[in-house]
Amino acid sequence: MQRNCWRSQNKDLVRSRLNYIPLIKKPRVRFAPSPTGFLHLGSARTALLNWLFARHYKGTFILRLEDTDRERSTQEAVKNILDGLKWCGLNWDEGPEAGGKYGPYFQMERLSLYQDQAQRLVKEDKAYRDEGAIRFRIPPGDTRFTDLLRGEIKFLNKELKDLVIIKSDGVPTYNFACVVDDSLMEISHVIRGEDHISNTPLQLNIYDALGFTRPKFLHLPLIHGSDGARLSKRHGPTTIQDYRAKGFLPEALRNYLALLGWSPRNKIEILTTEDLIRHFSVEGINRSYSIFDEKKFTWINSHHLRMLDDDTLAREAVPFVEKAGFKEITEAGLRNIVGLLKSRLHLLSEVAVFGRYLFPGEIDYPEEILQEYLSDKDTILWLEEIYRALEGVSDFSVKNLEDVFKRFIQEKNIKFKAIAQPLRVAISGMTVTPGIFETMAIMGKELTLKRLREGLEKAKKMGTVPRFTERTE
């Protein structure tokens, strides 16, 4: 039923690809980062697609740390990667901290396993010693494999060089350790970036020489920047930590990164994590590269922010509000604030920016805004009267404020429109805010009056009342 929806021109390819998805045996997939820095968008996307594959096909997601580059691997980077994955919500079933019967999950703790396999190859003359190192002998012929995304790929072995598999210090090289581990850990599908395609024929020859079953391979197209070049630092921040600090939610990251490698059949772009798991399919993985677009990511984030209830949103916003310097805000106060601002937010960090006037302390009144809305003498006089009227109001509920203003404009015979925008500017320093009564209700009497007073003082200090003067002359 579902399969009929797939674009018909791809039917044959899809049908052949489906043969590779183990519907009976549970798949085992892995994410195998080298702990040399932070978790980047590209690796996080690889981890996510492996995780979705495992969760959708009810398999196992394994985390393995490829720490054999001893100069570049650090404990700190291990922590960065584990923390990054945890924040992304990509929980692993086997690996560091989780354990598992195929461990250890750090390659440097598995040296004897690589030695054993390498010795076996030497004994069988499939590898040989070379200046203290062990080198693998590439056999003649060619190497073919079927990539689940690209179909058959063929390499001529004469273009491959005999490669060192164990260095003279006893540490294995990536291509060897990776094959030994993927075999011993019974990995069924290797899903990784296409920058590893050139490693695949070397690895396949090692599988064959060791007599291990080859896993299925799927190489993901890389993520590119807006200029079409492979995504790198020069396009902007690339680590997960950067985006977390900017105010993105992990659920939005999962949503956006998933779309950077895969397309759902129904083309819906806002997907919860349950949606992603349910709709994920290997057939939907994109065959061409995708472009990282922070604007689109931000748009997706705004939808996920809106999906949060006010309590959760307030909790998520706390570190951002604190970072902006507002430490004394209560959780209840913040809940009201985020509730008021929610529909306009794109990033968690915007709570303290868009809602600056809702927090204590001085705010800015940009001069051009004062000029435009608070430079008219009549307006200032009306606002001063409003100030006095509000001083006598104790119930700052939306309903009561509406009544107070209704009476006020009737008595004075003015239009609400004439004072609404100046009032907004006076209490917020901004031209766009949520509804004026909702805003005042959340601010409460004390802060509303304080802001209104400040706004009027700033306007008067400006000392120019050009429109008024022009009119009366």
Nearer to ligand GLU, 94 or 350 (CB): 94
Q: Tell me how far the alpha carbon of residue 160 is from its chain's centroid.
A: 38
- Dihedral over Cα of 330, 331, 337, 341: its sign: positive
User: Least distance to ligand GLU from the beta carbon of 85, Å?
Assistant: 13
User: Which range of residues in 32-40, 284-292, 357-365, 445-453 is near ligand GLU by CB under 6 A?
Assistant: 32-40
- Residue 186, SS3 per DSSP: coil
User: Least distance to ligand GLU from the beta carbon of 68, Å?
Assistant: 9
User: Which range of residues in 28-36, 52-60, 347-355, 388-396 is near ligand GLU by CB under 6 A?
Assistant: 28-36
User: Least distance to ligand GLU from the beta carbon of 194, Å?
Assistant: 11
User: Which range of residues in 31-39, 240-248, 321-329, 431-439 is near ligand GLU by CB under 6 A?
Assistant: 31-39
CA nearest neighbour of 31 among 44, 48, 47, 55? 47
Residue 117 phi/psi, 5° resolution? Answer: -70, -40
The residue count of the chain comes to: 473
Does residue 327 carry a catalytic annotation?
no
C-alpha distance from residue 62 to each of 188, 369, 408 (Å) = 11, 56, 67
Which of 33, 35, 422, 434 touches ligand GLU (CB under 6 A)? 33
Which of 27, 28, 29, 32 touches ligand GLU (CB under 6 A)? 32
* Residue tagged active-site, from 233, 323, 399, 406: 233
User: Which range of residues in 26-34, 125-133, 275-283, 399-407 is near ligand GLU by CB under 6 A?
Assistant: 26-34
DSSP 8-class letter at 343:
G
The residues in 35-94 that bind ligand GLU, with binding defined as CB under 6 A, are 66
DSSP 235-249: GS--BHHHHHHHT--
Question: Directed axis angle between helix 250-259 and helix 75-88, to 10°?
Answer: 90
Side chain identity, residue 266: N
Residue 279 CA to residue 304 CA, distance in Å, equals 18
User: Least distance to ligand GLU from the beta carbon of 291, Å?
Assistant: 22
Which of 55, 110, 135, 192 touches ligand GLU (CB under 6 A)? 192
Let me know: does 223 contact 289? Beta carbons within 8 Å: yes
User: Least distance to ligand GLU from the beta carbon of 349, Å?
Assistant: 30
Name the residues annotated as catalytic.
233
Residue ranges that bind ligand GLU, judged by CB under 6 A: 32-34, 66, 178, 192, 196
